[in-house]
Structure 1
Amino acid sequence: MATHLVTTLLIGLAAIVALASALGAVARRVDLPPVIGEVFAGILLGPTLFGGAVTETLFPTDIRPFLAALANVGVVVFMFLVGLELNHGQLRRGLGVAATVSAGSIVVPFTLGAALALALADGHPVPDRLAFVLFMGAAMSVTAFPVLARILTDRNMHQTPTGGLALACAAADDVLAWSILAVVVTVVGTGGEQWRMLLLVPYLALMFGLVRPLLRKLAAAGGSPGRLTPAKLGAVLVGLLLSACLTEWIGLHFIFGAFLFGAVMPREAAEQMRAEILDGLGQFTGVLLLPIFFVVGGLNVDLSRIGAAGVGELGLILLVAIGGKFTGAFLGARIHGLRARQSATLAALMNTRGLTELIILSVGLQLHLLDRTLYSLMVVMALVTTAMTGPLLRLFHPVPSTPEVADVRQPVS
């Protein structure tokens, strides 16, 4: 790598971290999730402003492959952390209510998203209509579990019945959305190597039958059982990268291997190790690697070329995204007997899409299911639905610091 490329790359990375940190702090000051500011930083560094002059100056074509590689590493680590944060016990405890709410918050937005795909297909190049319909349904169904967890913690709602239920539903929604996306990837195909999909079952058996027990032994090994050591972290990272590599080779995309490796990490014997991994890797990934992902994504967002037709499509996308998720979650909660205000609070929380949505959109872009215009509109939708969460919570749950009355018939906390 030539000296001028190293210099340009380092300057670009410094600009990414500085702008993402600054706008993330601004978002936090106005009671928005920091990811809103960080994603906005990626858009500002993209071609939307000044005809792409900023992009060409900071990120010339020669260094973009290196940025893309770092962005992929960031997504691998992030998806691992998402799987690591899944609370299996919470899912089991809230199974009754969570199943009903999750069903509503998946079925309704998925159906509306599929209908939206049919309406948009003629106006955009779609190589596979079935895959596009399934993809749009999955994109409308997702809830950003990590962003939701942080919103609940910031508002002292994470230990309330509604907060615990929201986390359980979001976890279930994400698992279902990733499963639908896996079907989409399979439908699109793997370049003539579809037979590799047959290895999915052995891969799952390996992860649960061998890797999970080995991780449990790893957590208990050494002079500090349950504590994270450099050797243990190295072993975890090796396993993570190999798992991501396997699913990419199979044809499922590396995000699934990273997510599953985090999900199979044992909880009971490794709680402290999990917490230390989340804290250490989470901070590094959030400060450096994910902002790079936002910029790489922002290079494909060009809002300057969206005309009247694009504005109309954006309105339709927002209507389906907000209405589908909110209505599905609200009706699911009401059917199970939750009060109207609590159901509305839960529906507002489930409408949070955040970074999880951006990762799904990046997959759609890689599979050529989204063109740049539709990708740009969907990124705006992800930002709007995430930014709405705070104001809606102030409306439906105005005093978050007050202990919530446990009016859930099957409390989950």
Structure 2
Amino acid sequence: MTSHQIQILFLDIAIVLIMARGLGYLATRINQPPVIGEILGGVLLGPTLLDGALSEALFPDEVRPMLAGVANLGVALFMFTVGLEIEGSTMRGNGRVAVAAAVGSTAVPFLLGIGLAFALLPRHDSANHGAFVVFIGLAVSVTAFPVLARILTDRGLSRTAVGGIALATAAFVDVAAWATLAGVNASVGADGRHWLVLFTLPYLACMLLVVRPLMRRFLVSSNTAAHAGPLKFAVVLIGALLSAAATEAMGMHHIFGGFLFGLVIPREGAQALRADIHDRTSHLTAILLPMYFVVAGFQVDLGGIGLSGLLDLSLILVVAVIGKFGGTYLGARSQKLHPRSAASLAALMNTRGLTELVILGVGLKLGLLDGQLYSLMVVMAMVTTVMTGPLLTRIQGARLHAAPDDSIARDHVGAASP
């Protein structure tokens, strides 16, 4: 690596962070999650603006692989925090409502997505039609758990009944989405070494039966501190990175390893310690993840979409929004959830954010998406995330901005079936 390349790399990282923080702040000023501004920054730094002249000048080819390496590290740690956030007790506590809403939120958009895939195939052919169809169904079924959690916190809904059900539902959907994506990745992305996927089940067993007890013994004690010391934090990060490397070596994707390691971190008796690990890791991903937006933006070119592209985008948006909203609403109402609460839950589950970008990146890497379809799906991720806040405001009204306790939820949540 030459001195000139080091200079360009450092300059590029600084530019990306300035764009991400600046546009992320502007997004919050219009009541949008910061990730909207960060994704937009990545798109603007790609070939869409000035026909790619700005992108080529700021990010020469010799530096892009280094940025991609930083981006992959950021995504692996981000997926670790996603796994860390999923709370088993939350899912169990909301029982049948969350399960019914999750089934509707996954099955309905997935089935509609399969139909969408067949409609897109004539204009966006794929070498593996079966994997393409499943992937499109998956791509319109995604919910961004971290973005949803941030919206609930910002709106004072995280401690309401609706917020608890939303988090539980999103957790179910996330686990189902990553499991499905793992299967697609294993069938397409093993580079002819599909036999390596046979190690997946022993690996899962090792993580649950060996690594999880070891992490509990290491992290949890009778005098567990509220803060992870340097040694504990280092061991956790090393474990997440080794897990990511293991799944990548098995022909999977490194995001699964990071996510799984987050899941096996102990919950009971270590809430404060887990929160501290999450906060520290989030500080790292706040610096690393914007590189992923830029690397993703390199593949987004909205300049030459044309009429057929706009028609495809309209179809994608209709399927994504109607499938997600309708499926979640029907699932929640099947368990007697109040109509307004069911509609609020459906609006929340429609947010996709960064999770969608990660999944789309896997599809692009596997060759399941061409450049134009990838660009259209990125736009869909942004639009559905942007519409969540205004739609939720329209459904719930101004009262939900006032109080974060369950008294508001009782006004909107009907009795679920026992």
What's the TM-score once normalised by structure 1's chain length? 0.97
Amino acid at match of 1:297: A
Amino acid at match of 1:332: G
For 2:158, what is the secondary structure of its paired residue? Answer: coil
Q: Which residue of 2 aligns with 1:296?
A: 295
Residue correspondence of structure 1 range 256-271 to structure 2 within 5 A: 256-271=256-271
Q: Which residue of 2 aligns with 1:240?
A: 240
Cα 1:189–1:405 change in 2 (3 A) is: closer
Q: Which residue of 2 aligns with 1:344?
A: 343
Q: Which residue of 2 aligns with 1:134?
A: 134
Q: Deviation string for 1:133-189 (max 9, x for gaps)?
A: 110111111100000000000000011111110000001001111111111112214
Amino acid at match of 1:96: R
| Sequence identity percentage | 51
Cα 1:203–1:408 change in 2 (3 A) is: farther
Q: Which residue of 1 aligns with 2:408?
A: 404
Cα distance in 2 between the residues matched to 1:41 and 1:31: 17
Cα distance in 2 between the residues matched to 1:305 and 1:408: 49
Q: Which residue of 2 aligns with 1:353?
A: 352
State the Cα distance separating 1:125 from its structure 2 match. 2.9
Q: Deviation string for 1:299-335 (max 9, x for gaps)?
A: 0000001100000000000000001000000111111
Cα distance in 2 between the residues matched to 1:31 and 1:14: 26
Amino acid at match of 1:32: Q
Q: Which residue of 1 aligns with 2:155?
A: 155
Cα distance in 1 between the residues matched to 2:270 and 2:93: 20
Q: Which residue of 2 aligns with 1:370?
A: 369
Which segment drifts farther, 214-223 or 339-348?
214-223
For 1:393, what is the secondary structure of its paired residue? Answer: helix
Amino acid at match of 1:404: I
Q: Which residue of 1 aligns with 2:74?
A: 74
Cα distance in 2 between the residues matched to 1:204 and 1:368: 27
Cα root mean square deviation, aligned: 1.5
For 2:47, what is the secondary structure of its paired residue? Answer: coil
State the Cα distance separating 1:76 from its structure 2 match. 0.3
State the Cα distance separating 1:408 from its structure 2 match. 4.1
Amino acid at match of 1:46: G
Residue correspondence of structure 1 range 180-219 to structure 2 within 5 A: 180-219=180-219
Structure 2's unaligned 5+ residue stretches are none
Contact 1:220–1:226 (8 Å) recurs in 2: no
Cα 1:76–1:189 change in 2 (3 A) is: closer
Q: Does residue 385 of structure 2 align to residue 380 of structure 1?
A: no
Contact 1:144–1:354 (8 Å) recurs in 2: yes
Q: Which residue of 2 aligns with 1:230?
A: 230
For 2:178, what is the secondary structure of its paired residue? Answer: helix
Q: Which residue of 1 aligns with 2:32?
A: 32
Q: Which residue of 2 aligns with 1:167?
A: 167
Q: Deviation string for 1:116-146 (max 9, x for gaps)?
A: 0111111113010000011011111110000
State the Cα distance separating 1:409 from its structure 2 match. 2.8
Cα distance in 2 between the residues matched to 1:307 and 1:191: 34
State the Cα distance separating 1:226 from its structure 2 match. 5.4
Q: Deviation string for 1:83-114 (max 9, x for gaps)?
A: 00001100111121111111101110000111
Paired residue total: 411
What's the TM-score once normalised by structure 2's chain length? 0.96
Cα distance in 1 between the residues matched to 2:169 and 2:373: 28
Structure 1's unaligned 5+ residue stretches are none
Cα 1:212–1:294 change in 2 (3 A) is: same
Q: Which residue of 2 aligns with 1:274?
A: 274
